[in-house]
Amino acid sequence: MNTVRNILAIAGKEMRSYFASPIAYIIIGLFALLFGWFFYVYLHVFVEQSQRMSMMGGGNVNVNEQMIRGVLQNAAVIILFVMPMITMRTYSEEKRSGTIELLLTSPLTDFEIIVGKFLGAMGLFCAMLVVTMIDVAILFRLGNPEWRPIAAGYLGLLLMGGCFISVGLLISSLTKNQIVAGFMTFAVFLMLWVINWLADSSGPTGQAILSFLSITDHFDDFTKGIIDTKHLAYYLSFITFGLFLTAKSVDSERWRG
């Protein structure tokens, strides 16, 4: 009961500080713009394609398979760029301004603070995703897509975003400097993204390991509308592990002083 109240207090504070500054509006706005652009491009291609198909007489085009999937994959790339800007300040800023002393001397556990911060960042991320649903709503109005694969795709984005946030929190807890935190987070995200590029040429074991580590390989099934427990387990344990390491990092900071 207390735990939930404390977590919500921290999450609320995080959300408020995002929305009290221009950060939230700029991130949400630009994300919506880029998402909309990709959406428009894919829609355009899709419309041309389906016209060509119908002129050639028949053939089946699937809006989910040929359009949504591409949009979601591109959205994931934008998130890769945007997320460091959301997470880089979470701990760095508190350390720099000294407010970390307030949090660490209040009757809160490290767990409550970290989960609160995680949920705060997730809140902003959800707001980003909600705004993009305008585009999807237009699609539903004009066409007849299947909602399940779209929902699965959004779930995938949410989970992948959660992984990024947990890594971002960890890195932010390591430094006072926001720029360092932001750039390191970006580099780590990118590494997690491209780690499977060598998979094909690294032998059967290497391939299995590399593509298992890759954050994108797990995302792929979600864009196809498949919710596989294997991927759920990967994302959820990734998030848990990231938050666990953040807790250890905050605790060790305490001992080092």
Partner 1 sequence: MIEVQHVTKRYGRVTAVDDVSFRVERGEILGFLGPNGAGKTTTMRILTGYMPATEGRATVAGFDIFTNPIEAKRRTGYLPETPPLYPDMTVREYLDFVARIKGVPASERKQRVTSVMERTRVADMADRHCAKLSKGYRQRVGLGQALIHNPDVLILDEPTAGLDPKQIIETRALIRSLAGDHTIVLSTHILPEVAQTCQRVVIINRGRVVAVDTPDNLTTRLKGAETMYVQVDAGADQPGPTLAQIPGVTRVSAADGPSGGGFEVESDRGTDVRREIARAVVNRGWGLLELRPMRMSLEEIFLQVTTDETPQAAGELAGVAAAAQDASGSVEGQHQ
Q: How far is CA 26 from the centre of its chain?
A: 17
Enumerate residues 6+ apart whose C-beta is below 8 A from 122.
158, 161, 162, 165
Single out the segment in contact with partner 1 by CB under 8 A; choices: 92-100, 154-162, 194-202, 239-247.
92-100
Q: Does 106 bind partner 1 (CB under 8 A)?
A: yes
Q: Does 10 bind partner 1 (CB under 8 A)?
A: yes
Least distance from C-beta 84 to partner 1, angstroms?
Answer: 20
Least distance from C-beta 123 to partner 1, angstroms?
Answer: 16
Both tokens of residue 235?
């994302």
**Of residues 14-43, those binding partner 1 (CB under 8 A):** 16-17, 20-21
Enumerate residues 6+ apart whose C-beta is below 8 A from 10.
103, 108, 112, 113, 115, 116, 117, 119, 120
Q: Does 255 bind partner 1 (CB under 8 A)?
A: yes
Nearer to partner 1, 141 or 256 (CB): 256
Q: Does 101 bind partner 1 (CB under 8 A)?
A: yes
61 three-state secondary structure:
coil
Measured CA to CA in angstroms, residue 31 lies from 11, 25, 54, 185, 212 at distances of: 22, 10, 34, 18, 28
Query: Using CB under 8 A, which of 25, 44, 59, 99 touches partner 1?
Result: 99
Contact present, 69 and 224 (Cβ < 8 Å): yes
Both tokens of residue 104?
């660490």
Least distance from C-beta 6 to partner 1, angstroms?
Answer: 6
Q: Does 252 bind partner 1 (CB under 8 A)?
A: no
Nearest to 77 by CA among 171, 150, 186: 186
Q: Does 5 bind partner 1 (CB under 8 A)?
A: yes
Query: Using CB under 8 A, which of 57, 58, 98, 204 touches partner 1?
Result: 98
Q: Does 102 bind partner 1 (CB under 8 A)?
A: yes
Alpha-carbon span 9 to 91, nearest angstrom: 16
Contact residues toward partner 1 (CB under 8 A) are: 2, 5-6, 9-10, 12-13, 16-17, 20-21, 97-109, 254-257
